[in-house]
Structure 1
């Protein structure tokens, strides 16, 4: 019985040690923020185009594809990373706080 309890405790300790490690194939938080900033910037840009909503729905994926090509990241890796980070509300809150801060800096500086 003690052996089972010790193994269970060891398993929990090992599991908690890996909590802060990002699994392979998942983008780190800095790269996610960088991509989210560009994606939201492009979303805002496309929404200002004087075209019908249907046309903007065609244009946006083209811009998004350019972002992923620029960063040499497949869209599947981005989506998998987004799903991974969405499992933890605090992490997503932190990522989006950083994204919004970066967008405010871009807006104030007039760059991008």
Structure 2
């Protein structure tokens, strides 16, 4: 009986520690994935421009603002959401797995379209 009570207490403790109730300001995982995909594409565009690094950073800032406007999210909400998800490394790993898959898929589609042309 004591062992059963100890196990029940342990399960309750683990469940309480993994309380994943996210605050209202935190964006959904799906929205985070789509924003991160667009941000990484934006970073790629800005870094591939034939301009000095400091100029590419200015361009990136402008393009990043467009990404946030496109997704109707402020940069502060995005940052706070990202910090929330970073508290759970396993969840963040899953999110970035989806980001990488999405970017790979986009790259494959773009390569196929270029071969058709």
* Pairwise same-fold verdict (TM > 0.5): yes
Partner SS for 1:20: coil
Partner SS for 1:19: coil
Unaligned runs of 5+ in 1: 1-8
TM-score of the superposition, structure 2-length normalised? 0.78
TM-score of the superposition, structure 1-length normalised? 0.81
Distance 1:18 1:40 in 2: 30
Distance 1:106 1:97 in 2: 14
| CA RMSD of superposed structures (Å) | 1.9
Distance 1:95 1:103 in 2: 12
How do 1:42-53 residues align onto structure 2 when only pairs under 5 Å count?
42-53=42-53
> Which residue in 2 is equivalent to 1:21?
21
> Which residue in 1 is equivalent to 2:73?
73
Distance 2:84 2:40 in 1: 19
Number of residue pairs aligned between Structure 1 and Structure 2: 100
Distance 1:53 1:47 in 2: 8
Distance 2:35 2:18 in 1: 25
How do 1:81-100 residues align onto structure 2 when only pairs under 5 Å count?
81-100=81-100
Unaligned runs of 5+ in 2: 1-8
> Which residue in 2 is equivalent to 1:41?
41
